[in-house]
Structure 1
């Protein structure tokens, strides 16, 4: 935040220093101040030309604010011998009412080449009516200030109201659609039927019109009188029956009524008479003219109490209050308003006698009864006697004093038939027609009527020739939307391609403000899309300024003031709208002053002031009349000057003129501005600026627009090997138009500097003194030149590109005496120029050399293998088959991993290459000049050789781009790009370290099994080698093996276990060799970036499951597979990428011995028994063995 403030301060200081006196000379000025201290002289200024001299027209709506005395219109000019600004009054009162004290402090002024229109606001009142009217009284003057016509605007608007001869536009939300108007009764245009004699008689009649003004005005005065105002005498009951609290409420009611009536009644005067035990005048009509004092006296009233002398109090008003010695004005409207709480008591006068007094004639009486006392017949009859007839308009009753304030709006509506009341009776009574004015020409007048239709406003278009009256406004059907919009606050005419558009501002429309645009069709008027403000209360549209930038009599821009636009205060803005050929307005930007003043009201006045900087484009001035008032209440206000160019209004103001730059104690400086004429007769355009009671005339400074030109003889440089001379002539031409009176500019000089062959280190030309720069001065005349001899040096490497010569110049002023301000160079114009001196070229009699370049390239390698490939060679062949090619240049860009070794150049044509330079961290660039400066029809064959760095390559492709250009006119570059695949080498061999193993699954339930694979080789670039070990884990729905742990030997190796999907290819398990195509498997995947690695996978065999699915013998295959990205890497030892470990599973048969033993035992016993039986049968047991033994 602090940095931002600091930068803004620096910008402010630099801007103020450089722009202080650019367009307008503030050292010499002419001023004129009104002799009246509080005069509003200077509220509006206009520059007006006549045949003999130029004038400043100045309005002074009042000479004195307190007395509200009309100040009139003044014409001012600068008179010799000692040039002083002198002013004289133009009589506008001829034919007007002589009592112009009723004129309001506003006056509008408009002019064109044929005349001047001046309007003042005048309050009028019809006889026997208290309804006040406020409308303009306008005087049409000839160009030389002769009175030609008096326009009684009241008659014009009454005629409009009676004939309904106006346009009322339906309000729509959509701003982009055109709207048709209601049907209108057109007056018969009798001018179309008149012959030339009749037209001549009409012209004579118009010339006689002013002579008949007095008679017409006299006739008009039968219906209208000079308004002496309205006198209201309030008769206040102060009897003892009223409580002090209620009496205070009665005083508050009187105060509020006076304040409310003063807002609507311009010339209302009050008197208050209290009655009790005596009759007492609290203040009379004359004392009420001091409003604060009168309101203070109301609150200081002390209650008299005791009796109720109502009749005596009314008598006192008739004899004492309505008396000229006490401030009564003859012819004033007289009103008596009685506020009482009961019937008469102890009054010596008879109420009937008082009411019937001759003095009561033309007095309108209002009676307000408070309380329940008027429920009695006698009290009510007295109240009805006090009130004028009819009672429903003049008699009011309330229950208590607290209800009095509720009568205010009703009383106001009864007494004053103001705009805003319901009904169609009043439309233009307070229209203030003529609040703003514009003259399209002598016959077509536009007058703003801000108060018409409840202050929705409108425009009155009046034709002085046909007396046709047209009223244009925004809305009639829905007045609430446009109510208090103040349409007509500003009016102007925009000249479009299809005719004039009538433009008017309504600064309070929709609270944000609008600018309405009306177009005259064949038989109707149309309202075009409107412009709308973007901030509530900004008063957008209060000031309008059409701007014809290029002076072609067609409006180019419309500037809209919004002086109350607020950010922190009321800084103000001016909006710029472009007016195009389709007669539509397009928002461009907004202008603003310095933001240091919170209440500057920038945009309060906007004026086109002519071409003050002599560049052919009209410039503008914008007033900020309150800028600086917080710093110095006695001297404030500023004027901003904005220049224009072919693109429109320049964004930044060219000058800011403060009140203190012109004079001391200037207040509201910039409240009005105009310019474009020469008042001082010195050939310079002047501006007039109005301030409070004073005007200032300021002259512009001579602004010089220069054009520099440099010519050569000869106009081309031949390509030779010896020095030669050429002549150079530098000339300056003044583009600004200066009159004979402005010969002072010849007392100034142009200081210039010539710089040869800029931006070239090795210069190709020089002055005869061998220098490359030259400084000199030339006195300003219409055309001033100087000549030089320039040496062309022998042809260097660049003998084709044009030789650039820069000319910079500035203005120097001598010390000679001057009558005019010191001139300045146009700050928006150039102060330097560049010129080119070309070389001769051989294009076979053609204006343009068309070379025909062809490029072919060939690489020695189809792919690069980092660590294996050593050298890379690119062969290039560039052929020119057309005209000469100038400064043919080849730019080659290649990766930094390709280290430049050498270039093999041809003997002819020459190829010169610079040392490669680094473009960024990954690219080198090398530039080669092909046969500089001229590459004629030939072929250049050369080769570029690189050595491939063994460092790791960052990308998968090596891109070599070749760009060939020449400076031939219209030549297109040749671009060729070659992409070479890049790989990195490594070597790796996969081996299994676990031999095939036999496993007897017949015994036991679980058995451990380890599987080990190794990778050996060379991996300098850390190539990610992937090893996948596939472990069958499930077969035929039985878990046959579980993975327990994986061991590695290198920290860089990353391993993870995966469950691969979709490996099963056989749905029926057959055979005795099982792998992952038959079984569900787990995959151990390891990424290896080292030279060697040893991976061991620990598992457990589930023997119980194997016994169920193995019949006698089976082989379980554990596979190891190595892979890598073959697009990025190359294995120089592709021996084995896959290996397998086989588990041979055997199942043995088991014999059970117990059944065999039991069976054998039983068989043995049976056999023994059988043997015994046989032996017994054969008589073995019958032998006499014993006998034989005995024997």
Structure 2
């Protein structure tokens, strides 16, 4: 069937419950066990069966393999007819294995009366062996003389290895040839020549959990060993062990309740029969999912030289539909996280679908060069074949040349309607290469390149600052066809739009390339579509910068100054009171100020009228809730040395006699990139001669603003700031000075600028008439409704290379534990006094109980 694009496998379904082996390499077929199937055996109920299903692209037509057609055998003992075996509910087909033309199928719940006089039978199990393509069958039941309890089996070096987990650690290894040679139809085959097995030990070893390593807390009851698989995971030439413990429990997220999540242990074989646990173990994540119930070696699924493993979680998933998780191997064991998750397609009903109850892999059924996987869904009588798809190893590269775009160098032209304009441009090139095993001759890819995409802000919509020169679009999409093992490249150009089309010149221009396999490409000869290797880096990113007017280092350090003057000093009640505020904005720094602007908050008494004549200034008026503001563009950039004079006109028609001043709040500001800095700077060393603040470290400025948006005034307000000056005995921040605007009285318990260092670049302080927006009291200050003030603190950074870690002292932990125990004892005592622990008598006195009706007494 067709393969979903997101899966590493395709799938085709066949019926019946699942355990499987493989045979006939030329004609691929699948053996599927149905342990609860009804058969034609007389007087046998749900004896179980095995189905042979020839594999094909469509639905498979399965047929029953008649390993055993007989009913229960009976013997005449002392003229009494005695039933000696019980095949009903024996689960024949629960274990099926194959090796070449040899097939073994077992019934782990087969009962046998070990002694004729015994009143009951024992679960001994039995197996049937075929070595000639299912033509003749030999019964092999080595546990009829012992109490067993189920079989697990495998073929190894031409021999059969059987395990009986319910017996006394019995394990047998017998040659298939010796089994066939020793078989006689009327004789029960219990052992053969050359058979190797473990023997019963003394009773002192009962319940010793021999073979389980680690604390019993982790292994007892976890069903450690419920599933075992052997494969060379780390490609060192020796087979490693993977062990499932599907009922392993661990503490839940709250730390109190235990949850059964399952666990899988990986043991790497370092020397012959010397296994080393690989940590950490693989843990399930879903309660009662039974992670580790089944294991299947997959072979080298992704063709990276390391074998992979499938782990069943038959009750996992959001709807308990069952999951199978694929873990890839590497030099150190298995990956910590699955690279693929297969989910069951059947919803959980009255009986769980149990998708993943059984697994088989490491066989290439469709001969496409990759091993496939069969998953059994016990609860819905389904077996699903997942066909591995070919793996493509692909890589891409992306390059911009140059990475700095100079707006002054316009080397390209674009057509803008009827006009051709010159623009600044850079070269963009990307290359793609791909290879893999058993791939189609030609591979199809879809490559998409996205140019700079800004996040939306409150001021402007998202805008692309660069476009492709050929299409004048911000994205490029190409479909590429290339040969397996080939490499292809594509060259183009991108250009910077004109300065009037965007504002942000500081943020990097990110260029991203994303590639994937073409979903419309032709399928391979086996009807499968290749997929990319899971470690493939699909997304590649490069960035460019716009050349700034900021010197050779392209870092701007503006120094903005603002002075404001009014054309009148008095205003009158009842008058329109037209006035003009003239301001002088200057940049005295060494670099341009980008997105520089004048920001003004209008008082409630005033209205904005416009810009004074002969002023080349652009301003926008904004109103949000009860705050009205004015923003004027001062340049992008406002170059170093710029001194700009402009006038703003206002009217003040709503004066009240409550206040004796009208206050305007003005601020000159610009953006800076980056907005986050890491300290100390690269290659910075502290000076031995501390004379200036820069000798300690780079300057950090914090600006805090207090705003009262409530309907009432606040009196006696206090702002408390705590700053980390030291951390674990190391100096961190060095405070220099506090600058306030408004009637604030600030104090500090730390000496500011204790070393009396000289500060070269103090913050520009502009004192503007009518700038205050707070009223001051004698010892407290009142924050008026919609009032505001600014508090500025300057710090010098120092010794921030340490990672801050705060450790709780041991005595605090001990004290907390003792306090908790004392509180618990007190609570128990109070409950005892209240009679909480006294058992109540539902019938009162003995006399009252005797008077109960017989019916009530019987119900009681």
Q: TM-score, normalised by structure 2?
A: 0.48
* Structure of higher CA gyration radius: 1
Q: TM-score, normalised by structure 1?
A: 0.36
Which structure carries more helix by proportion? 1
